[in-house]
A and B are shown apart, each in its own frame.
Chain A
Amino acid sequence: MDMKTSPKHLLMVDELDAFGAELDEIRAEVLADLGERDVQHIRHMMHTQTLSEMAGRGLIHFSLGPVSWAAGVGLLSVSKILENMEIGHNIMHGQYDWTNDPELQSQNYDWDNVCTADSWRKTHNYEHHTYTNILGKDRDYGYAVLRLTDDTPWRPWHLVQFIQYGMLSGLFEWGVGLHELEFDKLKSGEVPLKEKIPFLKEFAKKASTQLTKDYVVFPMLAGPFAPKVFVGNAAANLSRNLWASTIIFCGHFTEDAQTFREDECENETRGQWYYRQLLGSSNFSGGKWLHIMSGHLSYQIEHHLFPDLPSHRYPEISTKVQAICERYDIPYNTGPFGKQFKTVLKRVAKFSLPAIVRRGAA
């Protein structure tokens, strides 16, 4: 496999096989060790999440002043973030399917998000995780609105793509929820709208459930104080959106995260697949709660190598993966959260200009 944005060291086919076998070994070790500890972790997370949700909604509801109201919004945001990132995302990946617990089954779980579970599992678990960073196949790459590589043809509106980036972040759950619509392909006529009707029906049902929950049911319970509940819930949804989008952008759109061409990835072996996942993802470091609040996507590399292993295992796995990378001389993209995010912004800025202009300026 030859990479366009070439890594430090090109691996030979037999090296890649050995590399793949070593990663398979890590996977097998963790699988054999799965047990009560993992269930305790996810149950503890679900417990914390429900507590903070109830406390948050309670505070917003009964707040006497702006401080208690803001505290309520904070708690509700935390709960929504926990639910989407550490609980929902990971359960829906099948990380806890082995427990046989119906509440922890990937195919049963539905999350607190306008995106339907079915659509998410299709566009994210299947498309994004299988075709990670393959241009034209991984539709999460830039979400069809951002230009993050020179392989995407430049258009004048890319000049102001920071605006689109801001909008995408603020409305992230809606972007994700409507991702399956493939608006770009509808517009170009490649896909007829008729094909999307079943999806739209499901989406409308899920979205209306979500909207009525946060903007009708809970505000109504507050009677004359409905507006403060309405605004509080909107604020919590907004902060969840901004946070989720930031974390996800740090996972694949940092400066050194690589992209691939479709033809490079045909007939990939397991080793090559692992290799691509590694080069296309980036981690960030931080404390325990930063990892938890990011749903352990701070270990994006490990998540992409082993999407269905319980996320709280990634820190232990990461040490082993780094050792392997060192031996094979494969770059392992990580750094502090702030620094990684800065490189995302840099990348958004950089590719808002066409290559020629950038070269000219340099």
Chain B
Amino acid sequence: MSPLSSSLSSRFFDATMLQPLASNRLLSAIFRSSNESFRRYFDFIANEFEPLLAKKRIAAEILGIIDETSDVRTFVLRPSVNWTAHLPGQYVSVEVDIKGVRHHRHYSLSCSPSEFKEHGIISITVKRVSGGRVSNYLHDHFTVGQLLHISPPAGDFVMDLLASDGAASRDESVPVMDVECAVGSSLFIAAGSGITPIMSMIESLAAASALAKPLTLIYVVRSSADVIFAERLTEIAALQSNFSFVIHETSLRGRLTKEQLAQHCTDMETRQIYVCGPYAFMEFISQSAEQMGAEPSHIKRELFGLPRTGAVEVAKDGSETVEQSATSGQVSFSASGQVVQSSGSKSLLELAEDAGLNPKYGCRAGICHECKCQKTSGRVMNMMTGKIIPDEQDQIQACISAPIGDLTVSTW
């Protein structure tokens, strides 16, 4: 044996072979391997017999479907064992498999968390979006008894609770059931299906025997036929003297104006304000409210009814081609914070390298998938075929993808 190979073997043994034999390494290896096997077996058996017991994903059985309006449905769900109660205003990501492709959409929970605590149920309320793949699929293909998969509740569009000194803060430790005692006077402003997270907030407050502070809802809809939760809102208003709501129909009265807003709420400066609707609507409301004396920090908003970035149009059929013009934009790499300009002709892999990053790659020709990265917003084109990659496909091959307009990638 040559001197080189003997030193090689001694270093080899030093460096790696002896360490895993140390007892803590052995224990952790045992843990890793048994954990992996048994979790897989458990989920397999659960999925065979009772999917609501499976651990990996949250399944939810559809217990009921309520038609709210001609194009809005509420799905009443019984979530599986690993669900934890939500905070009013939060949403879940709903998974739907359409033609073999998994799609995710966020839908706000539209019920009070107490529904889950008392009856084990939750609800989401879904409006059909014209051309929207997921919302239409949910309406057309799901019936009572079927299973949906959902994420844990998420989102920070939740109510600010008053601490004992009166300052608003969001305190996770306040039990959800006591929410109504800790909330100041509030103003809710919703447009269209933006009512859903707000409904969850109103429901959780209305659970109190008597509301201590005034609560006002301004609800902007196209026409009276589009009012979601109409009966329930009337019911709450009858029970709670401190709760009032106005419905503003744009088909009769045009867009909500600043003056009308001022009429509906005269003490803007004392309110915690929650706005949910399209971006332009929320901009308008925030500006007007601020001009009427509202504290900017007391205004909370949740974007609704728009795709993920303003520049991208609503998803179309994935097979269209793009003209070379209008493909330039800004590419942001969110892990490193780097930003580069793209003219639309360079691949994402080249752009990442231009930005001084060190992305992983192999063949640079679309064969090996080593350059896979996660796209969080924006669109890309497959440079080999000239076709746009469907929006829902967020794992993309950087070496053959060219950005179309602005793009955000979270991998590098």
Question: Contact between A187 and B368 (Cβ–Cβ < 8 Å)?
Answer: no
Taking the nearest CB of chain B, how far is it from the CB of A83, in angstroms? 11
Is the Cβ of B369 less than 8 Å from the Cβ of A217? no
Nearest-neighbour CB distance to chain B for A313, whole angstroms, equals: 13
Binary per-residue interface labels of chain B (1-24) against chain A in the complex, 1 for a CB within 8 Å, 0 otherwise: 000110010011001110110000
Residue from B8, B12, B97, B368 within 8 A of A129 (CB atoms)? B368
Q: Of the listed stretches B164-172, B210-218, B389-397, name the one at the interface; the rest are far from the partner chain.
A: B389-397
Are B29 and A208 in contact, with the CB atoms below 8 A?
yes
Q: Are B34 and A204 in contact (CB under 8 A)?
A: no
Is the C-beta of A39 less than 8 angstroms from some C-beta in chain B?
Answer: yes
Which among B98-106, B175-183, B242-250 touches the partner chain?
B98-106
8 Å CB contact of A54 from B17, B41, B319, B393:
B41
Residues from 63 to 116 in B contacting A, C-beta threshold 8 Å: 97, 99-103
> Interface size on B (CB < 8 Å)?
42
**How many Å lie between the Cα of A189 and that of B300 in the bound state?**
64
Q: Are A204 and B16 in contact (CB under 8 A)?
A: yes
- Contact code string A214-250 (vs B, CB < 8 Å = 1, else 0): 0011100000000000000000000000000000000
**The stretch of B128-136, B257-265, B279-287, B359-367 that contacts the partner chain:** B359-367
Q: Beyond A126-B362, A213-B34, A216-B30, is A100–B395 a contact (Cβ under 8 Å)? A: yes
Using known A-B contacts A100-B101, A212-B33, A213-B34, determine if residue A106 contacts B369 with beta carbons closer than 8 Å. yes
Q: Tell yes or no: A37 within 8 A of B by CB.
A: yes
Q: What residue of chain A has the Cβ atom nearest to residue B395's Cβ? A: A97
Question: Given A98-B101, A126-B370, are A204 and B33 also a contact pair (CB < 8 Å)?
Answer: no
Q: Which of A3-11, A28-36, A350-358 contacts B (4 or more CB under 8 A)?
A: A28-36
A186 touches B8 (CB 8 A): yes
Pick the residue among A122, A203, A213 that contacts B37 (CB under 8 A).
A213
Question: Whole-angstrom distance from the CB of B377 to the nearest CB of chain A?
Answer: 16
Determine whether the beta carbon of A130 is less than 8 Å from that of B393: no
Interface residues of A in 127-150 (CB under 8 A from B): 127, 129-130
How long is the Cα–Cα vector from A197 to B319 in the complex, in angstroms? 45
Does A107 reach chain B (CB closer than 8 Å)? yes
* Residue of chain B at shortest CB distance from A100: B102
A101 touches B102 (CB 8 A): yes
Per-position binary interface string of chain A over residues 35-53, scored 1 when its CB falls under 8 Å from any chain B CB and 0 otherwise: 1111100000000001000
- Report if A193-B369 is in contact (Cβ < 8 Å); known contacts: A39-B97, A39-B100: no
- B32 in the interface, Cβ–Cβ < 8 Å? yes
Chain A residues close to B by CB (< 8 Å): 28, 32, 34-39, 50, 54, 93-94, 97-101, 105-107, 121-122, 125-127, 129-130, 186-187, 189, 193, 197, 200-201, 203-205, 207-213, 216-218, 307-308
Residue contacts A-B, CB under 8 angstroms, 29 given: A35-B101, A38-B100, A39-B97, A50-B40, A50-B41, A54-B41, A94-B372, A97-B372, A98-B393, A99-B97, A99-B101, A100-B394, A121-B368, A122-B370, A125-B368, A126-B362, A129-B367, A186-B8, A187-B5, A193-B8, A197-B15, A204-B19, A210-B33, A212-B26, A212-B29, A212-B32, A213-B33, A217-B30, A307-B368
Q: 17 extra interchain contacts, Cβ-Cβ under 8 A, other than A122-B362, A126-B370, A307-B367?
A: A32-B319, A50-B40, A100-B394, A106-B369, A107-B369, A107-B372, A125-B370, A130-B363, A193-B8, A193-B12, A197-B15, A200-B16, A207-B20, A211-B29, A212-B30, A213-B37, A308-B367
